[in-house]
Structure 1
Amino acid sequence: MTTLESLVDWFDDKNKVMIALSGGVDSALVAYAAFQKLGSSAIAVTADYKTLSAEELGTAKQICSEIGIKQLLLDYSELENEDFIKNNSDRCFHCRMELGDHLIQLAKEHNVKVIVDGTNLDDLGDYRPGIEALKQNGIRSPLVETRFSKPKIREIAKTIGLSVYDKPSNSCLASRIPWGQRVTAEKLTRIEFGETIVKQLTNVKQVRVRDIDGSAKIEVEKQMISRLDQNVLKQITEKLKMIGFTSVEVDQEGYKPGKINVIAD
């Protein structure tokens, strides 16, 4: 049976563990379980690789504070990795291979043999080359091995009082740029600012601002599209143009993960 106890027990024979912790609920629950079993022998690691939003980084720090777990920050730039910035369909693979290299190096420095992440059963159904890269680096996924689905993760996270239990899923800012269009610091900055602007003016939590050749395509969940009325959209458009977008439109189909995962001409 999938329970918090089964996840905590997964760490039973692990001497010292490093958890790749983002700002999301999945890795938060893994970190919580590891800390319950191992205490100070569980270390959370958050990678600030320049495609993680400041909001996600802040949440990751907050999670570690709530749990009481020690957190290390990995600081490097994916924008120095040509395989990443050319943004082909295997971008996530190159991202996660590089992350794996950094995690393995850090684990050696801290005498850690086991590195884990927050991949869960629901992640396995999507096209996720990043998961394959982590697997190749020997990084394990306790939530998969103990058969956790996303709804179960949220349910348990709520029960134990993790503030991120209902936090919408997120992905790196580069995922807002269609495959085949290069990832640049300028694009990432305007995407991050753009999403903050939309969230502030609509009070919607799940927001994507896709950067399609400089045009902003805003995605929110279908039932939230009504919050982007004419008046609000006018304000958003003015602000998004100020930060460098050439035009702004709302995707009437609503938010769907990975919607622009097609090679752009």
Structure 2
Amino acid sequence: MHSRPRAVSKEEASIPTLGDLEDCLVDTRSAIVAFSGGVDSSLVAAAAVRVLGERSLAVTAVSPALATGELDGARRVARTIGIAHEEIRTDELAREAYRRNGPDRCYHCKTELYDGLAVVAAARGFDAVFSGANLDDLGDWRPGLRAAAEHHVRHPLVEAGFGKSDIRRVARELRIPSAEKPAMPCLASRVPFGTAVDRTVLAQVDRAERAMKDLGFRDLRVRHLGAKARVEIAEQELARACGPDRGAVERAILGAGYDLVEIDPSPLRSGALTRGLPLADPGVGT
């Protein structure tokens, strides 16, 4: 006796699936994935290798703005999902507009990235470049999306209707190692707009955040405020930082070269420095 098929709600029918993502890629002959190893680009890379096989390549940009450990993490994810993986060196610090660190800093960073990926694509015959941008990014200040539009970068997660929760859900289904990885934007995002970015500042932020991770904290930001560092920590870890481990946190940050330490009593909110800026550029879908 056959059971009757279960009725599917309107809400369930609108939930994007891995199949939806793969369908967005089937007409692409070959592609490079701009690959940080975070959950967003990892899911795009996993879908790309499933659909395109050897005609897909994950490429990670290495620069002083990349936090310690991120490259090793990207390598592990690439091995696990089975996609070919390469690295390129980018030099966003050579761009004066990037160093100046205005609200459009990410535009100059992404322009450097996509310039580099375009060179690889042209030399190796890849037809497309994919990013890990998703629907949630469209509700935030993302000048890097303008750089993507100028370089004709595609955003498969946007095309397939994926928000962040959808990405993590499907990444868990595929057992992608970065499925639960906290977001880790570039180190320059810890520096308030208008404060110049250079190698010394980026290295100091990196030392401070690495010291925090050595204490067992996973999801945090060390905001660079000159001689002072403001430490922002995710809600589930905040009580420990403000309580029994407060002294260890302060010593860790002072050891990274800061003179003053402030532990923000409010939980970490990603994008704190861009809150109030306009939403993403309308060219995202190109």
Which of 238, 252, 259 does residue 251 from structure 2 map onto? Answer: 238
Taking the TM superposition and a 5 Å limit, the aligned residue runs for 1:1-265 are: 1=14, 2-201=16-215, 203-229=216-242, 231-261=244-274
Cα distance in 2 for partners of 1:177, 1:75 equals 22
TM-score, structure 1 length as denominator?
0.94
Alignment check: 8 A CA contact 2:100 2:195 kept: yes
Alignment check: 8 A CA contact 1:19 1:116 kept: yes
Greater alpha carbon shift after TM alignment, 6-15 vs 175-184 = 6-15
1:229 Cα shift?
Answer: 3.8
Point out 4+ residue stretches in structure 1 off by more than 3 angstroms.
none
Computing the radius of gyration over CA atoms, which structure comes out larger, 1 or 2?
Answer: 2
In the alignment, residue 155 of structure 1 is paired with which amino acid?
A: R
SS in 2 for 1:238: helix
Cα distance in 1 for partners of 2:240, 2:138 equals 33
Aligned length: 262
Alignment check: 8 A CA contact 1:178 1:261 kept: no
Cα distance in 1 for partners of 2:240, 2:227 equals 24
Q: Kindly provide the CA deviation profile for residues 111-155 of structure 1, in whole angstroms up to 9, marking residues without a partner as x.
A: 011111100001110011011211121000000001011111101
For structure 2, list consecutive stretches of 5 or more residues without a partner in the other structure: 1-13, 276-286
Q: Kindly provide the CA deviation profile for residues 56-75 of structure 1, in whole angstroms up to 9, marking residues without a partner as x.
A: 21111111100111111111
Alignment check: 8 A CA contact 1:177 1:211 kept: yes
For structure 1, list consecutive stretches of 5 or more residues without a partner in the other structure: none
Alignment check: 8 A CA contact 2:60 2:88 kept: yes
Alignment check: 8 A CA contact 1:19 1:31 kept: yes
Alignment check: 8 A CA contact 1:44 1:70 kept: yes
SS in 2 for 1:107: helix
Cα distance in 1 for partners of 2:52, 2:274 equals 39
TM-score, structure 2 length as denominator?
0.88
Cα distance in 2 for partners of 1:230, 1:155 equals 33
1:231 Cα shift?
Answer: 4.9
In the alignment, residue 220 of structure 1 is paired with which amino acid?
A: I
SS in 1 for 2:274: coil
Cα distance in 2 for partners of 1:195, 1:29 equals 26
Q: Kindly provide the CA deviation profile for residues 191-247 of structure 1, in whole angstroms up to 9, marking residues without a partner as x.
A: 11111211222x221110001112110001234221114552222222322321111
